[in-house]
Amino acid sequence: MADVEIRQLRYFIAVAEAHNFTRAAERLAMTQPALSRAIRALERDVGAQLLVRAPGDVSLTPAGEVLLGEARTLVAQAGHALSRARRVAGTQAPLTVTGPGCDASLLNELVRSYNETEPRMPGHAVVGNAGDQFGRLRSGAADVALLRASVDDETLDSVVLLMEQVHVLLAASHPLAGRESIGVADLADEPVVRWQGDNLQHIASELWPDGLPGRPGPEASDGLQMLAVVRLGQAVVLSTPRAAAATGSADVRAVRLSDGPPVPLRLAWLRDHPQVQSVHRFAHHSRAVCANRDGQAG
């Protein structure tokens, strides 16, 4: 059997988590045909089919299920080995902290204020998207991640920084835009944007186990598409205050949803991170900042 590269395993993990080659390719910043070729080569090297391909969906074969768990362990171990070698050589990279674009302001504040304490391992902020935070942690692209999904992976640890109130984004011309708050019942006849991506859909199902309020609206895969739909008055969006503020749009209004579920904002990291003490220092600092900035941390 041919040797398998860590790079191939990262590609495989991305496809398995996204359940889609196109979304995985976007996450990896590569073309979909190149990713498909890489996975085919991995299957040849392994000597088994790893994925079941269907239009718009990818699932794991029994062999793929086994490899996924082992691949995550191997990729994490490779990252740890590099980290230890760099530390011994005195070239340890900074603590990479990632978060979605809507949390860029908070991300910058946490990293900047942490670095002002002159830590032994300074932080470096990297903006990603809401759907790829778990993948960045597992691949070693990030040490710590801001996310809103629950953390039920035994390889990860997390802490809740904030509990946020759901807001509704509406066009400024919408009849509900001038109200201070609205209720779920007010959305009964409103088309509500559905987010694409497994992680985002998982967050929605956790917060709204009986389904999102309102009527099914258009799907959106990124913030710009979401804003365009709202501006055109085609749908409303369930969001958080921080994401709402990040729109910076005069023709979009954010109105508090008075009876919506609280949304936890978490900080997550690999449980066996080689620099876990630095990670814990950053987590402790972040909880203190959020407690002072936005009220009680969870």
Q: What's the CA gap between 51 and 43, in Å, rounded?
A: 9
Domains of the chain, first to last: 6-77 (1.10.10.10), 93-163+264-294 (3.40.190.10), 166-261 (3.40.190.10)
For 203, residues 6+ apart whose C-beta sits below 8 A from its C-beta are 130, 148, 149
Residue 87 pLDDT exceeds 60: no
Q: Give the mean pLDDT of the chain.
A: 83
State what percent of residues in the chain have pLDDT above 70: 85
DSSP the chain: -----HHHHHHHHHHHHHTSHHHHHHHHTS-HHHHHHHHHHHHHHHTS--EEEETTEEEE-HHHHHHHHHHHHHHHHHHHHHHHHHHHHT-PPPEEEEEEGGGHHHHHHHHHHHHTT--SS-EEEEEE-TTSHHHHHHHTS-SEEEE-S----TTEEEEEEEEE--EEEEETTSTTTT-SEE-GGGGTTSEEEEEPSHHHHHHHHHH-TT--SSEEEEEESSHHHHHHHHHTTS-BEEE-HHHHHHT--TTEEEEEETTPPPEEEEEEEETT-TTHHHHHHHHHHHHHHHHHHHS---
Q: What's the CA gap between 78 and 84, in Å, rounded?
A: 10
State what percent of residues in the chain have pLDDT above 90: 29
Q: From 84, 103, 138, 116, select the one nearest 243 (Cα to Cα).
A: 103
The answer to pTM > 0.85 is: no
Q: From 91, 56, 51, select the one nearest 71 (Cα to Cα).
A: 51
223-273 confidence digits (pLDDT tens): 778 888 898 899 998 887 776 666 666 788 889 999 988 888 999 998 888
Beta bridge partners of 164: 263
Lowest mean pLDDT among 88-92, 152-156, 188-192, 235-239: 88-92
User: What pLDDT does 236 receive?
Assistant: 92
User: What pLDDT does 256 receive?
Assistant: 92
First to last CA, the chain: 49
What confidence tier does 198 reach under pLDDT thresholds 50, 70, 90?
low
User: What pLDDT does 41 receive?
Assistant: 92
What confidence tier does 297 reach under pLDDT thresholds 50, 70, 90?
very low
User: What pLDDT does 134 receive?
Assistant: 80
116-136 confidence digits (pLDDT tens): 886 677 888 988 776 778 878
36-55 confidence digits (pLDDT tens): 999 999 999 999 999 999 88
User: What pLDDT does 138 receive?
Assistant: 78
8-18 confidence digits (pLDDT tens): 898 898 888 88
User: What pLDDT does 144 receive?
Assistant: 94
Q: 144-147 and 263-270: which strand pairing?
A: antiparallel
Q: From 76, 78, 4, select the one nearest 39 (Cα to Cα).
A: 4
User: What pLDDT does 37 receive?
Assistant: 92
Q: From 134, 115, 116, 133, select the one nearest 124 (Cα to Cα).
A: 115
